[in-house]
Amino acid sequence: MSASSRPPLRIERIVGPLGAVISLPGSKSLTNRALVCAALASGTSELQGALIADDTMAMIDGLRAMGVDIDVDRTTVVVDGTAGLIAATAATVDARLSGTTSRFLMAVAGLGVGPTIIDGAAPLRSRPMLDGISGLRSAGLTVTDTDGSLPVAVSGHTAWTPELVVSASASSQFLSGLLLAAPALDDGLAISVEGELRSHPYVEMTVAVMRAFGAEVATNPSGGWTIAPGGYRSTSYLIEPDASAASYFFAAAAVCGGWVRVEGLGSESLQGDLRFVDVLESMGAEVLRSESSVEVRGNGVLHGVVVDMADISDTAPTLAAVAPCAASPTTATGIGFIRAKETDRIGSVLAELRRAGVSADELDDGWTISPGAVSPAVIETYDDHRIAMSFTVLGLRFGGLQIADPAVVDKTFPEFFEVVEQMRHDSLMGASTSDVGGAGVVAIDGPAGSGKSTVARLVADQLGKGYLDTGAMYRAVTWKALDSDLDLADHEELGRLAERSVIELGLGGLVRVDGIDVTSAIRSAAVNEAVSVVAAVSSVRTVMRERQRQWMAGHGGGVVEGRDIGTVVFPDAELKVFLTASPLARAERRATERGQLAVSEADPDTMPSERALSERVEIERVEIERVAEELLRRDQLDSNRADSPLRSAEDSLVLDTTDLSINQVVDAITSAVADRQSMRRAEADGDVGA
């Protein structure tokens, strides 16, 4: 079904705060720049994490038409470089709707004899190309155009005029195209800009990618760049998640409340559009930045701002979706040039806001949008992916909006709506878990040998709640990994295995993995030895935490024990308990447990005498000090691990069980649960704080 024939997609309102880690496709801007550099390089390059969407496939197919061999396998792209020998014969490039493809390859075509025809779909034919055409003619190339628009025919060579002064008033993409082609020239290129440079961060990104492929680019003190000849060298290049795509999810957190974190998009990102989070921060959202991730938290209170969006213009429609949710008007300036994007992104965005009942005023170089509720409406997208994705944010906040042309997102983010629904699912699971946790979860944490498992089972029995054996879950994954001969050092594959494994916890400690009863198998020596390795893998822990929350939501609460239950998995638990004991006491318990296991598993006809059992325990006591030392080392490892370190939650009931019996510990916990239930009843009756 074509985009135009698909029915409108209704965007349902998010109920409750967000809480999700978002996985995003690779950056379109980085993918297309890396593709050009790899195509012009000597040797074979591998691009990892590449975006595969309409815009990047337009670039891939365009380079193929110009003689480049490119292989695509999911998000990995292998490019056999041409050492700059491109478009040696006549070629036609269909850039579809991709501005970057048309403008980059127009310059790249200038390296080949051609002629190369650059063309595209009707909306792209209406976009301005004159700056690029003029730049190529200034370089001494033959260019035939259609009134400054596509289609354009370029015949070139590698002996360009060594110095160029170009205009980038309409788009920085023309400048980026010339920069990308320059290392393949006989004498290199010195290039400067006449007038105002739009979207400077995108040019900085271009230079950074060029340098990653070995190009020598010097920034001139007076402005402009000098690119040395010598070409590019092949490389393996990792593409970070798309910051423009991330803007919609960051905006959703700001307007819906809660939090959204994007992994792999850190504070050192090459993408200027990540600065959109600075705008959200200035409006009142909280932003947490690290080298490997960015997280936005919304508290339900936003205020309007006046902001120049010239350098991050692709996120201007996202800001337009945030603006109605602020307490005062928001003004965006510096973006008059976005009228010549896929559509007039000023006029079209404001028309759709007004269609939804939002008051907005158009400025010469931007807009002012007033706060207000949003009315139900069918949003037209004008063949513009960013309008579809931006107004989805507004729909998540207010509901009642429909996107008339949902398939338009295929241009840069084919899985956009699937990721939105995954965010909704993860947030709903977190919300339902939080609700259950506030009323029914007892979380028991503590170091190895502190008695967590025994105590948790008995507390569950006393309270009439279910018991969630998290240890069995990790053991089940470990058994599956060993049974599959999986390399335990392959953390990525371990995470995938955990995600696809179906783990069932039944009555009486029954454990099944993918329908196989592994109740006894998960207690084997091999699993015992490997489980600590598997359980330390971050991707495995992420999957298990979600499974634990799902179990608790499905059972209406319960008792659960582990090492990060109260701090990470159920931070809103009704009661958080942290059990501890001296290393010596914990070591003695381990020895006693082994002795009891020997008795329980013995054949009654050959059961050892009481004296023999006593001697066995004595022999084990020789090992107690060694076990105590091992437990201390384990405590140190657990406390310092990167993912969910062992620690007591601030509001935990801390019980030192060194000198307490099991029954005393169980009584203390069940009494604490009763006290909290009484407190809640008193609060409900209005007896507290009266």
Cα separation, 32 vs 175, whole angstroms: 15
**What angle is formed at CA 497 by the lines to CA 493 and CA 498, rounded to 5 degrees?**
120
Per DSSP, what are the bridge partners of residue 44?
80
Pick one of 3.30.420.340, 3.60.150.10, 3.40.50.920, 3.40.50.300 as the CATH number of 437-465+570-690. 3.40.50.300
User: Is the CATH number of domain 28-238 3.65.10.10?
Assistant: yes
Q: What is the pLDDT of residue 299?
A: 79
User: Are the C-beta atoms of 416 and 245 separated by less than 8 Å?
Assistant: yes
Pick one of 3.40.50.2300, 3.40.605.10, 3.40.50.300, 3.40.50.720 as the CATH number of 467-556. 3.40.50.300
User: Are the C-beta atoms of 335 and 313 separated by less than 8 Å?
Assistant: yes
pTM as predicted: 0.62
**Residues carrying CATH 3.40.50.300, the chain:** 437-465+570-690, 467-556
Name the helix (H) or strand (E) containing 685.
Answer: helix 662-685
Q: How far is CA 567 from CA 52, 177, 470, 577, in A?
A: 38, 50, 15, 11
End-to-end CA distance of the chain: 64
Per DSSP, what are the bridge partners of residue 72?
77
Cα separation, 499 vs 328, whole angstroms: 44
Task: Outline where 228-346 has alpha helix (H).
Answer: 243-256, 276-283, 316-322
- Alpha-carbon Rg of the chain, whole angstroms? 31
Cα separation, 200 vs 377, whole angstroms: 36
Q: What is the pLDDT of residue 464?
A: 77
Cα separation, 125 vs 139, whole angstroms: 23
Residues with a catalytic annotation lie at 314
**Residues carrying CATH 3.65.10.10, the chain:** 3-24+241-414, 28-238
Mean pLDDT per 10-residue interval, the chain, length 690 residues: 62 82 94 98 97 96 97 96 92 95 96 94 91 93 93 96 84 92 97 83 95 96 92 96 96 93 91 96 94 89 94 96 96 93 92 96 96 93 96 92 94 93 78 48 85 88 85 93 92 87 80 89 90 86 82 77 84 88 76 47 43 52 66 64 67 89 91 81 52
Cα separation, 318 vs 393, whole angstroms: 8
Cα separation, 270 vs 30, whole angstroms: 9
Residue from 634, 645, 534, 618 nearest 586 by CA: 634
Q: What is the pLDDT of residue 601?
A: 41
Cα separation, 39 vs 644, whole angstroms: 43
What is the homologous superfamily of the domain 3-24+241-414 according to CATH? Answer: Enolpyruvate transferase domain (3.65.10.10)
